[in-house]
Amino acid sequence: MDSGVVKLLFNDKILELSNPDPNQTILNFIRTELKKTGTKEGCAEGACGACTVVVGELNKNNIEYKAVNACISFLPFLNGKQLLVVENLISKEGKLHPVQEAMVKYHGSQCGFCTPGFVMSLFSMYKNHGNYNNELIKDSISGNLCRCTGYRSIIDAGKSLNRISKIDQFSKNKKKIIKLLKKINSKNIFITNQDKKYFSPKTIKDLKKIIKKNPNSNFLSGGTDLSLKVTKERKDIQNIINLKDIKELDFIKKNKKFIEVGAATSLIKFEKFIKKHYSDFNSVLKRYGSIQIRNVGTMGGNIATASPIGDTLPILLSLNAELVIETLKNRKILSINEFFISYRKTKLKKGEFIYSIRIPLYKNNIFKAYKISKRFDDDISSLCASFNMEINNNKIINIFIAFGGMAEIPKRAKICEKSLKNKHLSIDVFLKARNYLEKDFNPIDDMRASKNYRLEVAKNLLIKCFHEIKSKKLLRVN
Amino acid sequence: MSKETFINKTRPHDSAYKHVSGFADYTDDIKEPKDTLYGAIGLSKKAHAIIRKIDLNKVKSSEGVISVITNKDIPGRNDVGPVFDGDPIFPEKKVEFYGQPLFAVAATTIELARKAVMKAKITYKNLKPVVTIKDALDKNSLLFKVKKIKRGNASKKIINSKNSLKGNFTTGSQEHFYLEGQAAFVIPKEDNNFLVYSSTQHPSETQQLIAKTLNQKSNSINVLVRRIGGGFGGKETNFMTSCICALLSRKTGKPVKLRLDRDEDIIITGKRHEFYSEYEVGFNDDGIIQGLKLKLASNCGMSPDLSLAINERALLHIDNAYFISDLEVANYLCKTNTSSSTAFRGFGGNQGMMAIENIIDNISRNLKKDPSTIRKNNFYQKNSKNITHYGMKINDNVINEIFNKLEKKSNYKKRYLQIKKFNKKNKYKKKGIAITPLKFGVSFTTIHLNQAGALVHIYIDGSVHLNHGGIEMGQGTHTKIAQLVANSLGLPYDQVHISSTNTSKVPNTSASAASSTTDLNGAAALNAISNIKSNLENFIKLKYKIYNKNPIYKDQYIKFGNKNFEFKKIIKEAYLNRVSLSSTGFYSTPKINFDKKNFKGRPFLYFCYGAAVSEVCVDTLTGENVLERVDIIHDVGKAINPALELGQIEGGFVQGQGWLTIEELNWKPNGQITTFSPSTYKIPAVSDIPKIFNVEIFKEGINIEKVVNKAKTTGEPPLMLAMSVFYAIKDAIASVGNYNIIPEIDAPATPEKILMSINKIKNKIL
């Protein structure tokens, strides 16, 4: 059954919105329709965290509390979910939530404008974890900018949560909320609002039907990039097909040869899984963006967007990942190394979508990846490098090197690779090989880095990689 | 009387509860009446051009548009320059920066207004833009005559010095990135009056400029500000938003809200001045500066705004904490086709201080001595070497004490040696350490601005209502002033209520700026309290026949010796006896004077002092770096509320760290800014702050001047503690050349600049 009604939980009640504007952001909805102004707009691009809200999602018999950027999520995203804004945390009697109390006690607010966002990020951390160490706290608020405090007081507020009870109004109310969430979480969504359409199918079968009828639609798979068309370019997006409600696209499987990850799997879910297989992949993913972004952004979304600075792409290139692509009729497999054609253009044809990504498991290879950016947290790469090599008896048997931020597409360094293949693992070989990167790449100057810097660092990362292999240590400052 | 006591009480920010629960209202959160319209501004797409034609037909017919205004709709002055002209609201003939407002619309929703302005068709005749300082100096594009200051004979001293150095140095611009962007909400009232809510640090000037724009009297404009979401100087001027909003409201007769989105905010409004300096310095073997000649140029953008005062403060802080006997500075105020550079925490002082710190650092490296020693060798002293280059005697110098204490506490000397050892062993990771001092003068250097007013009412139930001219922008001024007032009346803190800063309650206020908000407004509030107390005491003495006794206000009682009067009761009694329980208060800073022309006098009531040690680790292959540890001792006098001061110190430090490391603005050669959102302009995030962060308030601190609570402001100065981060990075770079080559690096020290600086050294070694 299709329905144009978006159902969500707010204030413990079911809200039904009939055919809402699918281009309306959640932030806009909260401020102008729910008339709650605690949630702020700081940037309208998901890069400051002032708009952070928490979305309660049913996961088996539990509720997951995900922090998301309300400024770049469209309203239908809330379908079947609980929306929590900063005003909801305070009890009916006016008592502050423990997270709010901690922020007051540790002087975590000054001008206060970013504060609701921090409260919601910390709230999500508080609900989803039991222990709050430095690393977790920093990761939880890495997508929230504060210009006043210098963060120390906010970190201390986060740490203090270790010393307080985990029981709050939400844990007391959990059964009731789960019941309500189950009630609203079933139908395909099909919204028509003037000339705009929004589809959110639950199965691949339904998805294909919709694609057939609406071939000119935009796929939404997290939308952290697509939504900027509305919030920054001030354009309308006519037809949207949301992929995130399709359970068949949200999975991680593993066999002896490869890991297979569904295209609509969130980055945050994948980063946890991949850690034990490719720890540098995990490190780069943690810096891909904030938790708010990684909570909604997907593996498939990052690939299909095909940005030259998409952080998973050079890694997948060097690992020789394969893409399982669904066409309206059948399924095909394509190497990611053939996927990117030119700036933001891929081999994906109209009506096709990515089903999954297969990441080979190399038993004996050395894998390393580096992300270089001006800022450590939540920054776009100046460049991103990935190295995958098989070394036997001090000889390079196989080598795959790829870079992001060095060309109009994420790209392999094939000339450099060639110069290294079948050579001995020695510094002289690498010193010579690094110069071939100049033949592989001709990067651009922009506000993030100059061409010179990009080339220079690309070469240096090759050397760093060598020294890390040789010394069996990580030579990194952070 | 017993020994003087001071308030020293930690308590949360007065809005903390509301901040964390979402109930603290900012301008955009104020509920609108039903017929409210929403504004948007149409911007220039050229940095320097003659306007040929502005075709707004498609804008006017765009969905939801109610009204469109251009320069023809301005009844009064078409300029929002605060001191000098030069900031037209909508220019008539020529655009002078990319993003300059050209027209505005009011529409039924903010989205429709923003969509509409994109439909304008504007044709230009391009002119060549001047974008950089170098460009401006080459073309002699200056806003004012070159300012020269001089003490002694620097040229002669340099020639006679045993050692000398020459060089140049740049500190970059910085975007304020207050989390709340510029916003205004204007509601028309009867008699052509306007009620204005604005996100401004300066309600009085907002009032005056709207009045001038509308060609009305100031008494018809009422500006209210409850709080702003950060200012940092970026809302001290920048009156464009509120004036355009008022014009739209006047034209439509409707309430209008105008909020810039982040991109527009960064594109339109001014930023910190980039400074470029060329120096020539002579010094002896102890590194003591004998003579210093300096050319100091700043990028002021397209108009004067506050640039004159900002450059003046740079000149006043070119000494930082150092006695310079012979000095000559020529100051160039460059005009460029970029948005008008404006106030930003430090107000030029920090740029001046960075210039001298770079010189001192280079002297140390030239002599191969610990920079810490050379810094100390040059410090101002208590009884000699205590007159600044502008002739002010320093009476409150504690820099030697703070510096020595911090050196010990942070174990600087030992770590300095350990780091050298570490660097010998490590090729790709290099550590660096630096300790830097700060001395910052407090008062507006424009003397007449050093005044403040307050209005206090005590109601019949004994509750106190207070207004003052200061703006609550996060620094906690309302909290501290309420603490002062409650303490003075012997009342609990919650008996004192401070509401919106309001031009109809306290007139002719100065901006909340120059770090002096609490000093000035707190004193004005206490002056009002003292007037009311005087009324009360006269009444009590007369009625209860008490002679020659000074009362004590404590625990909600007024105590005359052994006669106690409960505050609430006596207030009611006073009311019934027709005693005034309300008063204005006023304060003007004593002792200060400054002859701007001859650059002589006492521009500051007092100085703030502090010092910081930073240790960094740099990746020599990529330029990436981490701030391992920071130790700070900062003088706040007698803190009213230590928790708030600590917050200012830490926050100021991190903001300064951003300025000197990762915050980098970028303009294309055509004058178009390319870093106008948080995805391209990076302010520090949580992982950037020091891994170990020890901040201590200087326990011996006291303000020797008569300032409320004998406190010293925190405000701007802590930003300059971050200079230590930059010089620690420079120290790490120097290790690549085994400390034999002085690194060449400008601020901000981004990973790219660090790597390039390292490469320069490597090339010199080869």
The CATH number that applies at residue B345 is 3.30.365.10
Mapped onto helix, strand or coil, the DSSP state of residue B33 is coil
**Which chain A residue shows the shortest CA-CA distance from B693?**
A152
pLDDT band at A3 (very low <50, low <70, confident <90, very high): confident
CA distance to B111, B495, B509, per residue, from B505 (Å) = 36, 20, 10
- The rounded distance, in Å, linking the Cα atoms of B749 and B616 is 12
CATH assignment, A366-471? 3.30.390.50
B193 and B337 co-located in one domain: no
B435 and B461 co-located in one domain: no
Angle at B6 between CA B4 and CA B9, to 5 degrees: 160
Q: Residue A393's closest CA among A365, A419, A424?
A: A424
B438 and B486 co-located in one domain: no
**Cβ neighbours of residue B567 closer than 8 Å, sequence gap 6 or more:** B462, B489, B490, B491, B553, B556, B557, B558
Q: Give the start-end residues of each E strand in A60-207.
A: 62-69, 81-84, 188-193, 196-200
Which of A110, A116, A142 has the CB atom closest to B651's CB atom? A110
Contacts of B721 in chain A (CB under 8 A): none
Q: Inter-chain contact A153–B655, Cβ cutoff 8 Å?
A: no
β A366-372/A353-360 pair status:
unpaired
**Which chain B residue shows the shortest CA-CA distance from A465?**
B621
How many CB atoms are located within 10 Å of the residue B608 CB?
A: 27
How many CB atoms are located within 10 Å of the residue A335 CB?
A: 12
Q: Inter-chain contact A145–B625, Cβ cutoff 8 Å?
A: no
Element (H, E) at B125: strand B121-126
pLDDT digits (tens, 9 = 90+) for A35-67: 999 999 999 999 999 999 999 999 989 999 999
Give the distance, in angstroms, between the CA of residue B245 and the centroid of all CA atoms in the same chain. 25
B689 and B738 co-located in one domain: yes
The length of chain A is 478
Mapped onto helix, strand or coil, the DSSP state of residue B269 is coil
Q: Inter-chain contact A107–B16, Cβ cutoff 8 Å?
A: yes
Q: Is residue B157 part of a domain?
A: no
Q: Inter-chain contact A376–B229, Cβ cutoff 8 Å?
A: no
Q: Is B71 exposed, middle or buried (0-12, 13-18, 19+ CB in 10 A)?
A: middle
Give the residue ranges of DSSP H helices in B455-497.
477-489
B650 carries an active-site annotation:
no
| Residues spanned by the domain of B407 | 275-445+595-765
Is A242 an interface residue toward B (CB < 8 Å)?
A: no
Within 13 Å of residue B650, how many CA atoms lie on the same side as its CB? 28
Within 13 Å of residue B506, how many CA atoms lie on the same side as its CB? 34
* Boundaries of every domain in chain A: 2-87+174-242, 98-167, 366-471
pLDDT digits (tens, 9 = 90+) for B167-217: 999 999 999 999 999 999 999 999 999 999 999 999 999 999 999 999 999
Query: What is the CATH class of A98-167?
Result: mainly alpha
Contacts of A377 in chain B (CB under 8 A): 685-688
In the prediction, which pLDDT does A212 show? 96
Is A156 an interface residue toward B (CB < 8 Å)?
A: no
In the prediction, which pLDDT does B766 show? 79
Mapped onto helix, strand or coil, the DSSP state of residue A67 is strand
Q: Inter-chain contact B678–A47, Cβ cutoff 8 Å?
A: yes
Within 13 Å of residue B471, how many CA atoms lie on the same side as its CB? 33
pLDDT digits (tens, 9 = 90+) for A335-380: 999 999 999 999 999 999 999 999 999 999 999 999 999 999 999 9
Q: Residue B54's closest CA among B87, B94, B89, B114?
A: B94
B533 and B568 co-located in one domain: yes
pLDDT digits (tens, 9 = 90+) for A139-186: 999 999 999 999 999 999 999 999 999 999 999 999 999 999 999 977
- The rounded distance, in Å, linking the Cα atoms of B390 and B410 is 34
In the prediction, which pLDDT does B1 show? 38
Please give, rounded to a whole number of angstroms, the shortest distance from the CA of A167 to a CA of chain B: 19
Question: For chain B, how many structural domains are there in total?
Answer: 3
Domain boundary among B588, B621, B654: B588
- The complex's ipTM works out to 0.98
Percent of chain A with pLDDT over 90: 97
Is A464 an interface residue toward B (CB < 8 Å)?
A: yes
Q: Which CATH superfamily is domain A2-87+174-242 in?
A: Beta-grasp domain (3.10.20.30)
Residue A434 has pLDDT above 70, yes or no: yes
In the prediction, which pLDDT does B5 show? 80
- The rounded distance, in Å, linking the Cα atoms of A80 and B109 is 29
Give the residue ranges of DSSP H helices in B284-334.
307-316
- The rounded distance, in Å, linking the Cα atoms of A461 and A372 is 10
B459 and B348 co-located in one domain: no
The encoded tokens of residue B516 equal: 């002096």
Q: Residue A401's closest CA among A409, A392, A411?
A: A411
How many CB atoms are located within 10 Å of the residue B409 CB?
A: 14
The encoded tokens of residue B223 equal: 């500006």
The catalytic residue among B175, B357, B650, B716 is B716
Which of A107, A370, A378 has the CB atom closest to B685's CB atom? A378
In the prediction, which pLDDT does A478 show? 82
Residue A2 has pLDDT above 90, yes or no: no
Q: Which residues of chain B have pLDDT under 50?
A: 1-2
- The rounded distance, in Å, linking the Cα atoms of B253 and B734 is 64
- Please, what is the end-to-end C-alpha distance for chain A in angstroms? 51
CATH of the domain at B222: 3.90.1170.50
- The rounded distance, in Å, linking the Cα atoms of A101 and B433 is 38
Please give, rounded to a whole number of angstroms, the shortest distance from the CA of A347 to a CA of chain B: 28
Residue B616 forms beta bridges with which residues?
A: B432, B627
Q: Is residue B140 part of a domain?
A: no
pLDDT digits (tens, 9 = 90+) for A263-287: 999 999 999 999 999 999 999 999 9
In the prediction, which pLDDT does B2 show? 43
Sheet holding B327-334, edge to edge: B147-151, B327-334, B289-299, B275-283, B163-171
Q: Residue A124's closest CA among A92, A93, A152, A82?
A: A82
Q: DSSP string of B328-384?
A: EEEEEEE--SSS-----TTTTHHHHHHHHHHHHHHHHHHHTS-HHHHHHHHB--SSS
B432 and B461 co-located in one domain: no
**Which chain A residue shows the shortest CA-CA distance from B623?**
A457
Q: What is the DSSP letter of A266?
A: B
Q: DSSP string of B615-683?
A: EEEEETTT--EEEEEEEEEE--BS-SSHHHHHHHHHHHHHHHHHHHTT----B-TTS-B---STTTS--
**Which chain B residue shows the shortest CA-CA distance from A39?**
B22
